[in-house]
Chains A and B, each alone.
Chain A
Amino acid sequence: MSAAPQKTKSGAEQIEVTVSAVVPVNDLVTRFEFSRVDGQPFPTFSGGAHTVVIMNDDGRRRMNPYSLMSDPADTSTYAISVRRDDAGRGGSLFMHTQVKVGDVMTLSYPVNLFSLDLRARKNLFFAGGIGITPFLSMIAQLERMNGNWELHYSVRSADLGTYADDLKTKYPNNVHVYYDDQSQSIPLTDLLDGQPLGTNAYVCGPKGMIAWVHASAKEAGWPDAQVHSEEFTAPQPGKPFEVRLCKSDMTIKVGENESLLEALEREGVDAPFLCRGGACGQCETTVVSHDGEFIHRDHWLDDDQHASGTKIMPCVSRFVGASLLLDR
């Protein structure tokens, strides 16, 4: 059962990259292109995948997911497009103001939470603004497979229509662009009506647009399973926290880049584990006392156990607060 568990890093694999190009696309959007530091090819990926860009913002770690917009079959480069969000938490501002050609950064391996249904006879894409990016890699993938697709893309204005002109030029028959400032909008009801059997719809854009597409499709009788939207669960870098270990009689610090389990291992504390992914239950640890909030991310404990604050799974879960005392 437990075969030969390895003390490896949890979470997605990472890739060291060099910024090879920084290309302003319009007033709000900039494209970043990367090459690998070790010269190896990038892993191929599936259309709709994203990478998590790990930024070192003056000692503060930021982790932002961005859709990979490059051709998945091109393993020489990865590209993302970042929209400047002046009101956001700062990751996009950091990208826009600090990142220069030649900088070394870290990307996660590709992760896909928005993949194509490869059974679909036809793929109907709805994009709003920067939500265009996952569709760029999907389109590249489908073009290679002779897939059937159609894009309906809503932008604020011609000036802010990120890649709209490129797409229209390259695929005049598949791409339809709608300009807000000309009072154009996607004729959603008509489009959802009368699609061939086996059509799948995909939407990426502002929250309101996603809700609109889901609701309209439901009303038009589409099965939920044929309407897909991107849900970014942005990985939160953990804040450092301190833990008092009763049995080992020591206090340890969990850094922002490591899990509680990894911190225990670093300090030589005997800590059981198996899956390192919150599922197997092996690392379950009793909380003796705490003053603060748990960030439970496991699938092992049930909701009541999470709420009770008496158990924690150190491979994935964290803590924020004044003190935490564990039976370890």
Chain B
Amino acid sequence: MTIQFNNETFRDDYSFSNSDWAIKRFPFPFHEDSYMYSVNMEQHRGGPAGSVYEKRFDVDEHYVAEMRDRALVLADDPLRCQSLPHMTLAGWDLLELIMVSKSEDYPDLFELHRDGNRWRWVNKPMGIDDTFTFLDETTLPYGPMEYITRQAQGDFCVLDQRDDMLWMDAGMVTTQADWSLDFDIGMNFFEWHAPVPLAHEMGIFQRALKFLLNIQQGSPARRLNWTMTVNPLLDTSPENYHKWGIQKTSLTPENLGAKQHLRVELQTFFRLPRSNALVFPIRCYLCSFQDLMTMPKWGRRLHRVVRDLPEELATYKGFIDNRPMMLDYLSQYDDGLSTSRGIWPDLETEPPLQR
């Protein structure tokens, strides 16, 4: 498999775009015409060929550009990457997990050659060829977590597990949906989830935590989460809210289809071997409304989901003010026909828009 990497930006001129291939494999997050929080975890052991669920760490056409964007964020604000001193071993675990997975899953893009603790890592898309000593920090330009997550799409939270609890003790967070690692560092599972509406009362977090504590080596899990972003902006951080918050007011009925993006996070969970920590990669996929509307089923469904979403969720996700304008746009793509079950676009079997 060869991937053509896009030359694109997630800021300023926003030249980001999805190819037809990327639209087709976009992880549309709604399996039915409505949405509510649930304990939506499943095993992460592959998925349909070509889908974003197939590999342990999905690599797509945005890889090189996303890594460039991450480097810019870090240059501005080094606190986006933090690791408490006891988390270095977990960082090595993560480095190994990503290097082994990527070199096995994408042998034409990544190579890992191991001779005892002497490792050679080749990352062809980014032009990297480094030799280092595993578990010896002095042989890498950054700490192990920072080194490898500068070369892996998505944010990474590394959670220490102690006293039947998860603690956010390390992370690389530059593509987040309005939360801050610097604020959450050292917090536990219930503390960092405190701002989320409704889910606590629904018992979702207790059950989710029990499931996560029990995730074992070799048995990773995953779930999807989603929100809305105006402009294809990866770094929607509280630190930079003054820069991107105002862009939400730039929506007009004319530009909405191009500017309004559905933002989906493919979240995975892996137990790390040496440290017994848990890593939580949060991979962000963006797709403009106008691209989503090329799949008739997604058009019908997105309209119904956005229309019926409880106010608390629309407020928390930050699009309550723009919801009426979004609905005006989306309603053009909802002809009232029923939709097939599941998340897949079913382009061959779902009827085209009846208008």
Q: Smallest CB–CB gap between A231 and chain B, Å?
A: 11
Tell me if B218 and A43 are in contact (CB < 8 A).
yes
Tell me if A2 and B31 are in contact (CB < 8 A).
yes
Tell me if B40 and A12 are in contact (CB < 8 A).
no
Tell me if B89 and A45 are in contact (CB < 8 A).
no
Tell me if A1 and B29 are in contact (CB < 8 A).
yes
Q: Smallest CB–CB gap between B193 and chain A, Å?
A: 16
Chain A residues whose CB sits within 8 angstroms of the CB of B51 once the complex forms: 4
Chain A residue nearest to B203 (CB atoms) is: A302
CB of B10 closer than 8 Å to a CB of A: no
CB of A87 closer than 8 Å to a CB of B: no
User: Which residues, 29 to 47 on B, are CB-close (under 8 Å) to A?
Assistant: 29-31, 35, 38-43, 45-47
* A72-B274 contact given A110-B217, A299-B207, CB 8 Å threshold: yes
CB of A294 closer than 8 Å to a CB of B: no
CB of A285 closer than 8 Å to a CB of B: no
Which label, helix, strand, loop or mixed, suits the secondary structure of the A interface?
Answer: loop
* A111-B42 contact given A118-B275, A277-B211, A300-B207, CB 8 Å threshold: no
Partner pick for B47 among A6, A12, A112, A275, CB 8 A cutoff: A6
Chain B residues whose CB sits within 8 angstroms of the CB of A44 once the complex forms: 273-274
Chain B residue nearest to A300 (CB atoms) is: B207
Chain B residues whose CB sits within 8 angstroms of the CB of A194 once the complex forms: none
Chain A residues whose CB sits within 8 angstroms of the CB of B48 once the complex forms: 4
Tell me if B216 and A111 are in contact (CB < 8 A).
yes
A225 to B207, CA, bound (A): 22
Tell me if B221 and A13 are in contact (CB < 8 A).
no
Tell me if B217 and A119 are in contact (CB < 8 A).
no
Chain A residues whose CB sits within 8 angstroms of the CB of B27 once the complex forms: 3
Interface core residue of A3, A43, A274, A280 (most chain B CB under 10 Å): A3
Chain A residue nearest to B161 (CB atoms) is: A115
Partner pick for A225 among B85, B89, B163, B273, CB 8 A cutoff: B163
A43 to B342, CA, bound (A): 36
A107 to B306, CA, bound (A): 48
Tell me if A110 and B41 are in contact (CB < 8 A).
no
Tell me if A109 and B219 are in contact (CB < 8 A).
yes
A250 to B214, CA, bound (A): 34
CB of A46 closer than 8 Å to a CB of B: yes
* A280-B43 contact given A4-B51, A45-B273, A275-B221, CB 8 Å threshold: no
Chain B residues whose CB sits within 8 angstroms of the CB of A110 once the complex forms: 217, 273
Q: Smallest CB–CB gap between B52 and chain A, Å?
A: 9
Tell me if A275 and B275 are in contact (CB < 8 A).
no
Tell me if B45 and A6 are in contact (CB < 8 A).
yes
CB of A59 closer than 8 Å to a CB of B: no
CB of A172 closer than 8 Å to a CB of B: no
Tell me if A12 and B86 are in contact (CB < 8 A).
no
CB of B162 closer than 8 Å to a CB of A: yes
Chain B residues whose CB sits within 8 angstroms of the CB of A8 once the complex forms: 43, 45
Chain B residues whose CB sits within 8 angstroms of the CB of A119 once the complex forms: 84-86
Tell me if A43 and B162 are in contact (CB < 8 A).
no
CB of A244 closer than 8 Å to a CB of B: no
Chain B residue nearest to A15 (CB atoms) is: B218
CB of A281 closer than 8 Å to a CB of B: yes
A54 to B308, CA, bound (A): 50
Chain A residues whose CB sits within 8 angstroms of the CB of B275 once the complex forms: 46, 118
Contact with A along B195-220 (1 / 0, CB 8 A): 00000000000111011001011110
Chain B residue nearest to A275 (CB atoms) is: B41
Partner pick for A279 among B35, B210, B273, CB 8 A cutoff: B210
CB of B276 closer than 8 Å to a CB of A: yes
Chain A residues whose CB sits within 8 angstroms of the CB of B89 once the complex forms: 118, 145
CB of A67 closer than 8 Å to a CB of B: no
CB of A152 closer than 8 Å to a CB of B: no
Tell me if B163 and A276 are in contact (CB < 8 A).
no
Chain B residue nearest to A200 (CB atoms) is: B162
User: Which residues, 168 to 208 on B, are CB-close (under 8 Å) to A?
Assistant: 206-208
Q: Smallest CB–CB gap between B341 and chain A, Å?
A: 10
CB of A133 closer than 8 Å to a CB of B: no
Tell me if A277 and B47 are in contact (CB < 8 A).
no
Interface core residue of A1, A2, A110, A279 (most chain B CB under 10 Å): A1
Contact with B along A23-57 (1 / 0, CB 8 A): 00000000000000000000111100100000000
CB of A150 closer than 8 Å to a CB of B: no
CB of B160 closer than 8 Å to a CB of A: yes
CB of A258 closer than 8 Å to a CB of B: no
A145 to B275, CA, bound (A): 12
Contact with A along B50-84 (1 / 0, CB 8 A): 01010000000000000000000000000000001
Tell me if A109 and B39 are in contact (CB < 8 A).
no
A119 to B43, CA, bound (A): 30
Chain B residue nearest to A111 (CB atoms) is: B216
CB of B224 closer than 8 Å to a CB of A: yes
CB of B24 closer than 8 Å to a CB of A: no
Chain B residue nearest to A277 (CB atoms) is: B211
CB of B120 closer than 8 Å to a CB of A: no
Partner pick for A12 among B31, B87, B218, CB 8 A cutoff: B218
Tell me if B162 and A275 are in contact (CB < 8 A).
no
Contact with A along B229-272 (1 / 0, CB 8 A): 00000000000000000000000000000000000001000000
Chain A residues whose CB sits within 8 angstroms of the CB of B29 once the complex forms: 1, 3
Partner pick for A13 among B162, B217, B276, CB 8 A cutoff: B217
Tell me if B274 and A141 are in contact (CB < 8 A).
yes
A13 to B343, CA, bound (A): 28
A5 to B344, CA, bound (A): 13
Cross-chain pairs A/B with CB under 8 angstroms, 8 sampled? A1-B38, A13-B216, A109-B216, A111-B217, A112-B276, A274-B40, A277-B214, A279-B211
3 nearest CB pairs, A to B: A13-B218, A279-B211, A4-B47
* Chain A residues within 8 Å of B, Cβ to Cβ: 1-6, 8, 12-13, 43-46, 49, 72, 109-112, 115, 117-119, 141, 144-145, 224-225, 274-281, 299-300
* Chain B residues within 8 Å of A, Cβ to Cβ: 27, 29-31, 35, 38-43, 45-48, 51, 53, 84-87, 89, 135, 160-163, 206-208, 210-211, 214, 216-219, 221-224, 266, 273-276, 342-343
**Sample of 7 further A-B pairs with CB below 8 A, known A45-B274, A299-B210:** A1-B38, A6-B45, A12-B216, A13-B219, A224-B163, A279-B208, A299-B207
